[in-house]
Structure 1
Amino acid sequence: MAALPPGLLGTLDPTSDRAVFRQIADQLREAIAKGRFAEGAKLPSEAELTDHFGVSRMTVRNALSILQSEGLASAEHGRGVFVRPRPPVRRLASDRFAQRHRDQGKSGFTVEAEAVGSRPEVDSLVVREERSTPEMSARLGSARKVLARRRRYLLDGKPVETATSYLPLDIARGTPIAEPNPGPGGIYARLEELGHRLDHFEEEVRARMPAPDEVKTLRLAPGVPVIHVVRTAFDTDGRAVEVCDTVMAADAYVLAYRLPAT
Protein backbone atom coordinates (compact mmCIF):
# COMPACT_ATOMS: atom_id res chain seq x y z
CA MET A 1 0.00 0.00 0.00
CA ALA A 2 1.36 3.46 -0.91
CA ALA A 3 2.37 5.63 2.05
CA LEU A 4 0.66 8.94 2.70
CA PRO A 5 2.49 11.99 1.30
CA PRO A 6 5.16 13.35 3.69
CA GLY A 7 3.90 16.10 5.98
CA LEU A 8 0.24 15.34 5.38
CA LEU A 9 -0.18 13.80 8.82
CA GLY A 10 2.24 13.53 11.74
CA THR A 11 2.90 10.70 14.14
CA LEU A 12 1.40 9.70 17.46
CA ASP A 13 2.82 10.89 20.77
CA PRO A 14 3.38 7.78 22.91
CA THR A 15 3.90 9.94 26.02
CA SER A 16 0.54 11.68 25.74
CA ASP A 17 -2.30 10.75 28.06
CA ARG A 18 -4.74 11.59 25.25
CA ALA A 19 -6.35 8.49 23.74
CA VAL A 20 -4.80 7.35 20.46
CA PHE A 21 -8.00 7.68 18.45
CA ARG A 22 -8.38 11.27 19.69
CA GLN A 23 -4.80 12.05 18.65
CA ILE A 24 -5.59 10.78 15.16
CA ALA A 25 -8.78 12.86 15.07
CA ASP A 26 -6.76 15.91 16.19
CA GLN A 27 -4.30 15.46 13.34
CA LEU A 28 -7.01 15.03 10.73
CA ARG A 29 -8.89 18.06 12.09
CA GLU A 30 -5.73 20.17 11.91
CA ALA A 31 -5.04 18.99 8.35
CA ILE A 32 -8.55 20.00 7.31
CA ALA A 33 -8.23 23.40 9.02
CA LYS A 34 -4.93 24.08 7.25
CA GLY A 35 -6.36 23.12 3.85
CA ARG A 36 -4.33 19.95 3.36
CA PHE A 37 -7.68 18.31 2.62
CA ALA A 38 -9.91 20.60 0.57
CA GLU A 39 -13.67 20.82 0.82
CA GLY A 40 -15.20 17.71 -0.71
CA ALA A 41 -11.85 15.89 -0.68
CA LYS A 42 -11.68 12.25 0.32
CA LEU A 43 -9.81 11.57 3.54
CA PRO A 44 -7.25 8.74 3.68
CA SER A 45 -8.90 5.34 3.83
CA GLU A 46 -9.11 3.27 6.99
CA ALA A 47 -6.40 1.00 5.61
CA GLU A 48 -4.10 3.96 4.84
CA LEU A 49 -4.59 5.44 8.29
CA THR A 50 -4.14 2.08 9.96
CA ASP A 51 -0.85 1.60 8.14
CA HIS A 52 0.36 5.17 8.75
CA PHE A 53 -0.30 5.22 12.49
CA GLY A 54 0.27 1.53 13.19
CA VAL A 55 -3.06 1.08 14.97
CA SER A 56 -6.11 -1.12 14.62
CA ARG A 57 -8.87 -0.41 12.16
CA MET A 58 -11.33 0.10 15.03
CA THR A 59 -9.10 2.87 16.43
CA VAL A 60 -9.16 4.61 13.05
CA ARG A 61 -12.93 4.24 12.80
CA ASN A 62 -13.34 5.85 16.20
CA ALA A 63 -11.19 8.77 15.07
CA LEU A 64 -13.21 9.25 11.88
CA SER A 65 -16.42 9.03 13.88
CA ILE A 66 -15.31 12.03 15.93
CA LEU A 67 -14.89 14.13 12.78
CA GLN A 68 -18.32 13.06 11.57
CA SER A 69 -19.93 13.89 14.92
CA GLU A 70 -18.36 17.36 14.73
CA GLY A 71 -19.79 17.91 11.26
CA LEU A 72 -16.33 18.13 9.69
CA ALA A 73 -16.65 14.98 7.60
CA SER A 74 -19.33 12.72 6.18
CA ALA A 75 -19.22 9.07 5.18
CA GLU A 76 -20.52 7.85 1.83
CA HIS A 77 -21.29 4.15 1.72
CA GLY A 78 -18.78 2.27 -0.39
CA ARG A 79 -16.78 5.39 -1.22
CA GLY A 80 -15.14 6.60 1.98
CA VAL A 81 -15.14 9.63 4.25
CA PHE A 82 -15.11 13.13 2.77
CA VAL A 83 -14.50 16.65 4.07
CA ARG A 84 -17.82 18.44 4.37
CA PRO A 85 -18.15 21.83 2.63
CA ARG A 86 -17.66 24.83 4.88
CA PRO A 87 -20.21 27.68 5.29
CA PRO A 88 -21.17 28.95 1.82
CA VAL A 89 -23.33 31.90 2.89
CA ARG A 90 -22.28 35.08 4.66
CA ARG A 91 -25.50 36.39 6.14
CA LEU A 92 -25.22 40.16 6.46
CA ALA A 93 -27.83 40.77 9.11
CA SER A 94 -27.60 44.55 8.83
CA ASP A 95 -28.07 44.62 5.05
CA ARG A 96 -30.22 41.73 3.84
CA PHE A 97 -33.54 43.55 4.38
CA ALA A 98 -32.43 46.95 3.13
CA GLN A 99 -35.03 49.03 1.29
CA ARG A 100 -32.98 48.97 -1.92
CA HIS A 101 -33.33 45.18 -2.17
CA ARG A 102 -37.13 45.36 -1.84
CA ASP A 103 -37.18 48.11 -4.48
CA GLN A 104 -35.36 45.66 -6.77
CA GLY A 105 -37.93 42.94 -6.04
CA LYS A 106 -35.48 40.78 -4.10
CA SER A 107 -36.06 38.84 -0.90
CA GLY A 108 -33.37 38.60 1.79
CA PHE A 109 -32.60 34.99 0.87
CA THR A 110 -32.19 35.89 -2.80
CA VAL A 111 -29.74 38.63 -1.85
CA GLU A 112 -27.65 36.18 0.18
CA ALA A 113 -27.68 33.52 -2.54
CA GLU A 114 -26.63 35.96 -5.26
CA ALA A 115 -23.74 37.17 -3.10
CA VAL A 116 -22.17 33.70 -3.15
CA GLY A 117 -23.21 32.77 -6.68
CA SER A 118 -25.66 30.07 -5.60
CA ARG A 119 -29.08 29.12 -6.95
CA PRO A 120 -31.86 29.87 -4.43
CA GLU A 121 -35.01 27.78 -4.20
CA VAL A 122 -38.05 27.58 -1.94
CA ASP A 123 -40.03 24.39 -1.41
CA SER A 124 -42.36 22.74 1.12
CA LEU A 125 -44.43 25.94 1.06
CA VAL A 126 -47.60 25.92 3.17
CA VAL A 127 -49.75 29.04 3.70
CA ARG A 128 -52.71 28.83 6.07
CA GLU A 129 -54.57 30.54 8.90
CA GLU A 130 -53.74 29.18 12.35
CA ARG A 131 -54.59 29.82 15.97
CA SER A 132 -51.81 31.88 17.46
CA THR A 133 -49.55 30.45 20.16
CA PRO A 134 -49.10 32.45 23.39
CA GLU A 135 -45.60 33.44 22.26
CA MET A 136 -46.78 34.72 18.88
CA SER A 137 -49.73 36.54 20.48
CA ALA A 138 -47.33 38.33 22.82
CA ARG A 139 -44.98 39.28 20.02
CA LEU A 140 -47.75 40.41 17.65
CA GLY A 141 -49.86 42.22 20.21
CA SER A 142 -52.41 39.60 21.34
CA ALA A 143 -53.45 38.41 17.88
CA ARG A 144 -55.70 35.35 18.33
CA LYS A 145 -55.27 34.02 14.80
CA VAL A 146 -52.44 34.50 12.37
CA LEU A 147 -51.54 33.79 8.79
CA ALA A 148 -48.62 31.36 8.83
CA ARG A 149 -46.26 31.00 5.87
CA ARG A 150 -44.04 27.91 6.24
CA ARG A 151 -41.24 27.22 3.77
CA ARG A 152 -37.87 25.55 3.33
CA TYR A 153 -34.97 27.27 1.59
CA LEU A 154 -32.37 25.51 -0.56
CA LEU A 155 -29.08 26.59 -2.09
CA ASP A 156 -28.07 24.66 -5.20
CA GLY A 157 -30.58 21.98 -4.22
CA LYS A 158 -29.34 21.58 -0.63
CA PRO A 159 -31.66 22.48 2.28
CA VAL A 160 -30.10 25.18 4.47
CA GLU A 161 -32.96 26.68 6.49
CA THR A 162 -36.65 26.59 7.32
CA ALA A 163 -38.72 29.64 8.15
CA THR A 164 -42.25 30.34 9.30
CA SER A 165 -43.66 33.85 9.11
CA TYR A 166 -46.61 34.78 11.33
CA LEU A 167 -48.70 37.82 10.39
CA PRO A 168 -51.85 39.31 11.95
CA LEU A 169 -54.96 38.34 9.99
CA ASP A 170 -56.29 41.89 9.88
CA ILE A 171 -53.24 42.77 7.80
CA ALA A 172 -52.70 39.65 5.68
CA ARG A 173 -56.10 38.08 5.01
CA GLY A 174 -57.32 38.56 1.44
CA THR A 175 -54.05 40.11 0.25
CA PRO A 176 -51.20 38.79 -1.95
CA ILE A 177 -49.42 37.90 1.31
CA ALA A 178 -51.88 35.01 1.65
CA GLU A 179 -50.92 33.68 -1.79
CA PRO A 180 -48.15 31.08 -2.25
CA ASN A 181 -46.20 33.60 -4.34
CA PRO A 182 -46.69 37.08 -2.87
CA GLY A 183 -44.80 38.71 -5.74
CA PRO A 184 -41.49 40.55 -6.22
CA GLY A 185 -39.79 41.60 -3.02
CA GLY A 186 -41.72 39.08 -0.94
CA ILE A 187 -44.07 39.80 1.93
CA TYR A 188 -42.14 42.87 3.13
CA ALA A 189 -42.75 44.63 -0.17
CA ARG A 190 -46.45 43.75 0.08
CA LEU A 191 -46.65 45.00 3.68
CA GLU A 192 -45.31 48.38 2.59
CA GLU A 193 -47.77 48.52 -0.28
CA LEU A 194 -50.52 48.00 2.30
CA GLY A 195 -49.32 51.05 4.21
CA HIS A 196 -47.09 49.34 6.76
CA ARG A 197 -43.78 50.95 5.94
CA LEU A 198 -41.08 49.03 7.75
CA ASP A 199 -39.10 50.86 10.40
CA HIS A 200 -36.83 48.27 12.01
CA PHE A 201 -36.30 44.60 12.85
CA GLU A 202 -35.43 42.94 16.13
CA GLU A 203 -33.69 39.55 16.12
CA GLU A 204 -33.03 37.00 18.82
CA VAL A 205 -30.30 34.50 17.93
CA ARG A 206 -29.32 31.31 19.72
CA ALA A 207 -27.58 28.06 18.89
CA ARG A 208 -28.87 24.63 19.88
CA MET A 209 -28.88 21.02 18.82
CA PRO A 210 -31.63 20.17 16.30
CA ALA A 211 -34.84 18.31 16.97
CA PRO A 212 -35.27 14.99 15.08
CA ASP A 213 -37.64 16.52 12.53
CA GLU A 214 -35.16 19.35 11.87
CA VAL A 215 -32.38 16.82 11.25
CA LYS A 216 -34.57 15.17 8.63
CA THR A 217 -35.86 18.37 7.02
CA LEU A 218 -32.44 20.02 6.75
CA ARG A 219 -30.58 16.73 6.11
CA LEU A 220 -28.12 17.51 8.87
CA ALA A 221 -25.04 15.41 9.50
CA PRO A 222 -24.55 14.00 13.00
CA GLY A 223 -23.29 16.62 15.42
CA VAL A 224 -24.28 19.66 13.35
CA PRO A 225 -26.18 22.25 15.43
CA VAL A 226 -28.71 24.77 14.21
CA ILE A 227 -28.97 28.53 14.55
CA HIS A 228 -32.43 29.55 15.76
CA VAL A 229 -33.41 33.11 14.83
CA VAL A 230 -36.67 34.82 15.79
CA ARG A 231 -37.10 38.13 13.98
CA THR A 232 -39.87 40.67 14.53
CA ALA A 233 -40.63 43.35 11.93
CA PHE A 234 -42.04 46.69 13.10
CA ASP A 235 -43.69 49.38 10.99
CA THR A 236 -43.22 53.13 11.45
CA ASP A 237 -46.20 53.20 13.86
CA GLY A 238 -44.37 50.79 16.14
CA ARG A 239 -46.66 47.86 15.37
CA ALA A 240 -45.24 44.34 15.06
CA VAL A 241 -46.41 43.27 11.60
CA GLU A 242 -44.57 39.95 11.24
CA VAL A 243 -42.64 37.43 13.30
CA CYS A 244 -40.34 35.06 11.43
CA ASP A 245 -39.14 31.90 13.17
CA THR A 246 -36.09 30.58 11.32
CA VAL A 247 -33.97 27.46 11.84
CA MET A 248 -30.66 27.44 9.96
CA ALA A 249 -28.10 24.69 9.44
CA ALA A 250 -25.13 26.04 11.39
CA ASP A 251 -22.61 24.63 8.92
CA ALA A 252 -24.23 26.53 6.05
CA TYR A 253 -23.94 30.08 7.39
CA VAL A 254 -21.65 32.72 8.79
CA LEU A 255 -23.60 35.47 10.55
CA ALA A 256 -22.09 38.92 9.95
CA TYR A 257 -23.18 42.08 11.75
CA ARG A 258 -22.30 45.73 11.37
CA LEU A 259 -22.67 47.55 14.68
CA PRO A 260 -22.40 51.33 15.10
CA ALA A 261 -19.73 52.53 17.50
CA THR A 262 -21.59 55.69 18.49
Structure 2
Amino acid sequence: MTGNAQPGRVGYRDIANDLRRQIDSGELPPGSKVPGENDLTSQYGVEQPTARRALDVLKNEGLIVAKRGSGTFVREFKPIRRVSPDRLQAGTSWGSGRPIWTADVGTRPRTEGVTVDVELPAAQVAEVLNLDGGSHVVVRRRTYVVDDKPVQLATSYYSEALVAGSAITQINTGDGGAYARLKELGYEPVRFREELRVRMPRDAERETLDLAQGTPVILIVRTAYTADDQPVEVNEMVLDSAAYVLEYKFTSED
Protein backbone atom coordinates (compact mmCIF):
# COMPACT_ATOMS: atom_id res chain seq x y z
CA MET A 1 0.00 0.00 0.00
CA THR A 2 2.74 2.43 0.95
CA GLY A 3 4.15 2.64 -2.55
CA ASN A 4 0.78 3.16 -4.23
CA ALA A 5 -0.90 5.55 -1.82
CA GLN A 6 -2.82 8.33 -3.51
CA PRO A 7 -4.40 11.38 -1.87
CA GLY A 8 -8.04 10.85 -0.96
CA ARG A 9 -7.89 7.10 -1.43
CA VAL A 10 -6.37 5.99 1.86
CA GLY A 11 -8.36 6.00 5.09
CA TYR A 12 -7.13 5.85 8.66
CA ARG A 13 -8.03 2.17 8.92
CA ASP A 14 -5.90 1.39 5.86
CA ILE A 15 -2.90 3.09 7.47
CA ALA A 16 -3.53 1.34 10.79
CA ASN A 17 -3.80 -2.02 9.01
CA ASP A 18 -0.54 -1.40 7.16
CA LEU A 19 1.33 -0.44 10.33
CA ARG A 20 -0.18 -3.39 12.20
CA ARG A 21 1.04 -5.73 9.46
CA GLN A 22 4.54 -4.29 9.79
CA ILE A 23 4.46 -4.80 13.57
CA ASP A 24 3.11 -8.37 13.33
CA SER A 25 5.70 -9.33 10.68
CA GLY A 26 8.61 -7.88 12.65
CA GLU A 27 9.31 -5.23 10.05
CA LEU A 28 8.69 -2.82 12.92
CA PRO A 29 10.15 -4.78 15.85
CA PRO A 30 9.45 -4.10 19.55
CA GLY A 31 11.02 -0.84 20.66
CA SER A 32 11.32 0.57 17.15
CA LYS A 33 10.07 4.03 16.34
CA VAL A 34 6.79 4.29 14.44
CA PRO A 35 6.41 6.92 11.70
CA GLY A 36 4.94 10.11 13.14
CA GLU A 37 1.96 12.07 11.89
CA ASN A 38 4.03 14.18 9.50
CA ASP A 39 5.73 11.09 8.07
CA LEU A 40 2.38 9.37 7.56
CA THR A 41 0.79 12.35 5.84
CA SER A 42 3.63 12.38 3.35
CA GLN A 43 3.89 8.61 2.96
CA TYR A 44 0.18 7.92 2.50
CA GLY A 45 -0.92 11.23 1.00
CA VAL A 46 -3.45 11.99 3.73
CA GLU A 47 -4.32 14.91 6.00
CA GLN A 48 -2.89 15.08 9.51
CA PRO A 49 -6.19 14.19 11.29
CA THR A 50 -6.31 10.93 9.31
CA ALA A 51 -2.73 10.07 10.29
CA ARG A 52 -3.45 10.92 13.92
CA ARG A 53 -6.55 8.73 13.96
CA ALA A 54 -4.59 5.79 12.51
CA LEU A 55 -2.02 6.06 15.31
CA ASP A 56 -4.79 6.31 17.89
CA VAL A 57 -6.23 3.01 16.65
CA LEU A 58 -2.94 1.23 17.35
CA LYS A 59 -2.49 2.99 20.70
CA ASN A 60 -5.93 1.83 21.77
CA GLU A 61 -5.03 -1.71 20.71
CA GLY A 62 -1.94 -1.50 22.91
CA LEU A 63 0.46 -2.09 20.00
CA ILE A 64 2.27 1.25 20.18
CA VAL A 65 3.03 3.71 22.96
CA ALA A 66 3.77 7.42 22.86
CA LYS A 67 6.78 8.67 24.83
CA ARG A 68 6.60 12.35 25.55
CA GLY A 69 9.29 14.26 23.68
CA SER A 70 10.57 11.16 21.90
CA GLY A 71 7.84 9.94 19.55
CA THR A 72 5.78 6.77 19.22
CA PHE A 73 7.23 3.28 19.53
CA VAL A 74 6.21 -0.35 19.13
CA ARG A 75 5.38 -1.66 22.59
CA GLU A 76 8.04 -3.88 24.17
CA PHE A 77 6.84 -6.83 26.21
CA LYS A 78 9.24 -8.18 28.84
CA PRO A 79 6.85 -10.21 30.94
CA ILE A 80 6.90 -11.19 34.57
CA ARG A 81 5.77 -14.80 34.55
CA ARG A 82 3.31 -15.30 37.40
CA VAL A 83 3.26 -19.06 37.98
CA SER A 84 0.39 -20.64 39.90
CA PRO A 85 0.22 -22.64 42.07
CA ASP A 86 4.02 -22.68 42.52
CA ARG A 87 4.10 -19.18 44.03
CA LEU A 88 1.78 -20.22 46.88
CA GLN A 89 3.56 -23.43 47.93
CA ALA A 90 4.49 -23.02 51.59
CA GLY A 91 7.52 -25.29 51.29
CA THR A 92 9.19 -23.22 48.59
CA SER A 93 8.10 -19.65 49.29
CA TRP A 94 6.47 -17.99 52.30
CA GLY A 95 6.78 -21.09 54.51
CA SER A 96 10.54 -20.89 54.04
CA GLY A 97 10.65 -17.23 54.98
CA ARG A 98 10.79 -16.02 51.38
CA PRO A 99 8.27 -13.79 49.59
CA ILE A 100 5.90 -15.38 47.07
CA TRP A 101 7.44 -13.07 44.48
CA THR A 102 10.56 -15.25 44.30
CA ALA A 103 8.56 -17.65 42.12
CA ASP A 104 7.81 -14.79 39.70
CA VAL A 105 10.94 -12.65 39.43
CA GLY A 106 13.45 -14.52 41.60
CA THR A 107 13.73 -11.66 44.07
CA ARG A 108 11.69 -9.29 46.18
CA PRO A 109 10.36 -6.27 44.27
CA ARG A 110 10.51 -2.81 45.73
CA THR A 111 7.40 -2.05 47.74
CA GLU A 112 6.11 1.50 47.80
CA GLY A 113 3.29 3.35 49.48
CA VAL A 114 2.55 0.71 52.13
CA THR A 115 -0.35 1.72 54.35
CA VAL A 116 -2.14 -0.20 57.10
CA ASP A 117 -5.59 0.90 58.22
CA VAL A 118 -8.56 -0.42 60.17
CA GLU A 119 -11.82 0.05 58.30
CA LEU A 120 -15.34 -1.19 57.91
CA PRO A 121 -15.22 -3.61 54.98
CA ALA A 122 -17.20 -3.40 51.78
CA ALA A 123 -20.14 -5.80 51.72
CA GLN A 124 -18.45 -8.29 49.38
CA VAL A 125 -15.32 -8.47 51.54
CA ALA A 126 -17.34 -8.93 54.71
CA GLU A 127 -19.32 -11.71 53.06
CA VAL A 128 -16.21 -13.61 51.91
CA LEU A 129 -14.54 -13.28 55.33
CA ASN A 130 -17.77 -14.31 57.11
CA LEU A 131 -17.83 -11.12 59.19
CA ASP A 132 -20.79 -9.88 61.18
CA GLY A 133 -22.13 -6.38 60.67
CA GLY A 134 -19.97 -3.82 62.43
CA SER A 135 -16.84 -5.98 62.34
CA HIS A 136 -13.70 -4.21 61.15
CA VAL A 137 -10.88 -5.33 58.90
CA VAL A 138 -7.18 -4.58 58.77
CA VAL A 139 -6.43 -3.28 55.28
CA ARG A 140 -2.93 -3.41 53.81
CA ARG A 141 -2.35 -1.40 50.60
CA ARG A 142 0.91 -1.34 48.62
CA THR A 143 2.43 -0.90 45.19
CA TYR A 144 5.01 -3.34 43.79
CA VAL A 145 7.80 -2.01 41.60
CA VAL A 146 10.06 -4.17 39.39
CA ASP A 147 13.00 -2.61 37.52
CA ASP A 148 11.76 0.85 38.57
CA LYS A 149 8.35 0.26 36.95
CA PRO A 150 5.16 -0.06 39.05
CA VAL A 151 3.59 -3.37 37.98
CA GLN A 152 0.98 -4.23 40.59
CA LEU A 153 -1.32 -2.70 43.18
CA ALA A 154 -2.43 -4.92 46.05
CA THR A 155 -5.01 -4.50 48.80
CA SER A 156 -5.34 -7.22 51.44
CA TYR A 157 -8.14 -7.56 53.98
CA TYR A 158 -7.98 -9.47 57.28
CA SER A 159 -10.47 -9.73 60.13
CA GLU A 160 -9.26 -7.29 62.78
CA ALA A 161 -10.24 -9.72 65.52
CA LEU A 162 -8.03 -12.36 63.89
CA VAL A 163 -4.80 -10.40 63.42
CA ALA A 164 -4.91 -7.70 66.12
CA GLY A 165 -1.51 -7.24 67.76
CA SER A 166 0.36 -9.23 65.10
CA ALA A 167 2.94 -7.99 62.59
CA ILE A 168 0.19 -8.02 59.95
CA THR A 169 -0.90 -4.71 61.45
CA GLN A 170 2.61 -3.27 60.93
CA ILE A 171 4.21 -1.86 57.80
CA ASN A 172 6.84 -4.63 57.78
CA THR A 173 5.28 -8.07 58.25
CA GLY A 174 8.65 -9.82 58.51
CA ASP A 175 10.14 -12.84 56.72
CA GLY A 176 7.57 -14.87 54.83
CA GLY A 177 5.08 -12.02 54.92
CA ALA A 178 1.50 -12.12 56.12
CA TYR A 179 0.99 -15.83 55.41
CA ALA A 180 3.85 -16.75 57.74
CA ARG A 181 2.31 -14.53 60.42
CA LEU A 182 -1.10 -16.15 59.94
CA LYS A 183 0.51 -19.55 60.45
CA GLU A 184 2.06 -18.32 63.70
CA LEU A 185 -1.40 -17.21 64.82
CA GLY A 186 -2.76 -20.71 64.16
CA TYR A 187 -4.48 -19.82 60.88
CA GLU A 188 -2.13 -21.26 58.28
CA PRO A 189 -3.40 -20.73 54.70
CA VAL A 190 -3.49 -24.08 52.93
CA ARG A 191 -6.05 -23.53 50.18
CA PHE A 192 -6.49 -20.63 47.81
CA ARG A 193 -9.09 -19.47 45.32
CA GLU A 194 -8.33 -16.90 42.65
CA GLU A 195 -10.87 -15.11 40.47
CA LEU A 196 -9.54 -13.26 37.45
CA ARG A 197 -10.95 -10.75 35.03
CA VAL A 198 -9.65 -8.07 32.69
CA ARG A 199 -10.94 -4.50 32.56
CA MET A 200 -9.83 -1.02 31.67
CA PRO A 201 -8.08 0.83 34.52
CA ARG A 202 -9.57 3.45 36.77
CA ASP A 203 -7.91 6.87 36.60
CA ALA A 204 -5.97 6.36 39.84
CA GLU A 205 -4.75 2.93 38.67
CA ARG A 206 -3.68 4.33 35.32
CA GLU A 207 -1.70 7.06 37.03
CA THR A 208 -0.07 4.91 39.71
CA LEU A 209 0.90 2.10 37.33
CA ASP A 210 1.95 4.62 34.66
CA LEU A 211 -0.08 2.78 32.03
CA ALA A 212 0.16 3.63 28.35
CA GLN A 213 -3.00 4.42 26.42
CA GLY A 214 -5.05 1.33 25.61
CA THR A 215 -3.53 -0.84 28.35
CA PRO A 216 -6.05 -2.89 30.36
CA VAL A 217 -5.41 -4.22 33.83
CA ILE A 218 -5.79 -7.75 35.17
CA LEU A 219 -7.83 -7.94 38.37
CA ILE A 220 -7.11 -11.00 40.52
CA VAL A 221 -9.00 -11.55 43.76
CA ARG A 222 -7.45 -14.24 45.92
CA THR A 223 -9.04 -15.72 49.03
CA ALA A 224 -6.89 -17.75 51.43
CA TYR A 225 -8.43 -20.51 53.56
CA THR A 226 -7.24 -22.62 56.48
CA ALA A 227 -7.46 -26.41 56.53
CA ASP A 228 -10.94 -26.19 58.05
CA ASP A 229 -12.05 -23.77 55.28
CA GLN A 230 -11.95 -20.61 57.36
CA PRO A 231 -11.29 -17.60 55.07
CA VAL A 232 -8.41 -15.57 56.50
CA GLU A 233 -7.48 -13.14 53.74
CA VAL A 234 -8.97 -11.43 50.70
CA ASN A 235 -6.32 -9.94 48.42
CA GLU A 236 -7.34 -7.73 45.50
CA MET A 237 -4.51 -7.34 42.99
CA VAL A 238 -4.47 -4.99 40.00
CA LEU A 239 -1.78 -5.97 37.49
CA ASP A 240 -0.39 -4.05 34.52
CA SER A 241 -1.34 -6.43 31.70
CA ALA A 242 1.66 -5.25 29.65
CA ALA A 243 3.98 -6.57 32.37
CA TYR A 244 2.61 -10.08 32.95
CA VAL A 245 2.14 -13.56 31.57
CA LEU A 246 -0.09 -15.67 33.80
CA GLU A 247 0.92 -19.34 33.85
CA TYR A 248 -1.20 -22.02 35.51
CA LYS A 249 -0.12 -25.62 36.10
CA PHE A 250 -2.59 -28.49 36.40
CA THR A 251 -2.57 -32.24 36.67
CA SER A 252 -5.23 -34.78 35.74
CA GLU A 253 -5.04 -36.34 39.20
CA ASP A 254 -7.56 -35.67 41.96
Name the TM-score, length of structure 1 as normaliser: 0.86
**CA shift for structure 1 position 213:** 1.6
Equivalence for 2:205: 214
Are 2:74 and 1:83 aligned?
A: yes
228-237 or 94-103, which deviates more: 94-103
CA distance in 1, matches of 2:240, 2:4: 34
Aligned equivalent of 2:114, options 107, 125, 146: 125
**Separation of aligned partners in 2, 1:28 and 1:43:** 8
The separation in 1 between residues aligned to 2:96 and 2:33, in whole angstroms, is 42
Q: Deviations over 1:194-238 (max 9, x none)?
A: 222222100111111112221112122222111111110001121
SS of 1:91's partner is: strand
CA shift for structure 1 position 240: 0.5
1:132 aligned partner, one-letter code: P
1:106 partnered with 2:98: yes
Consecutive unaligned residues in structure 2, runs of 5 or more: none
Task: Measure how far apart 1:103 and its partner are.
Answer: 3.6
When structure 1 is superposed on structure 2, of 122-131 and 216-225 the one drifting more is 216-225
Q: 2:183 aligns with which of 175, 192, 210?
A: 192
Equivalent in 127, 140, 150 of residue 138 of structure 1: 127
- Return the alpha-carbon distance in structure 2 between the equivalents of residues 61 and 159 of structure 1: 29
**Counterpart check, 1:48 vs 2:39:** yes
Match of 1:72 among 59, 63, 78: 63
Does 1:248 find its partner at 2:231? no
Shift of 1:109: 2.7
| Distance in 2 (alpha carbons) for counterparts of 1:141 and 1:170 | 12
Displacement of 1:13 in angstroms is: 8.3
Q: Does 1:172 align with 2:163?
A: yes
Matched, 1:226 2:217: yes
Quick one: which amino acid aligns to residue 181 of structure 2? R
Task: Tell me how large the CA RMSD over aligned residues is.
Answer: 2.2
1:22 pairs with 2:13? yes
Q: 2:139 aligns with which of 148, 151, 164?
A: 148
SS of residue in 2 equivalent to 1:68: helix
User: 1 CA distance for matches of 2:14 and 2:98?
Assistant: 48
Look up the match of 1:4: none
1:222 partner SS: coil
Q: 1:74-114: CA deviations, max 9, x gaps?
A: 22233211122225111112211111112442222343122
| Structure 1 residues without counterparts, runs of 5 or longer | 1-8
TM-score by length of 2: 0.88
- 3-state DSSP of counterpart to 2:93: helix
Counterparts of 1:159 and 1:20, CA distance in 2: 37
Letter in 1 for 2:185: L
Offset at residue 45 of structure 1 (A) = 3.2
Structure 1 residues 185 and 119: CA distance shift in structure 2, 3 A: closer
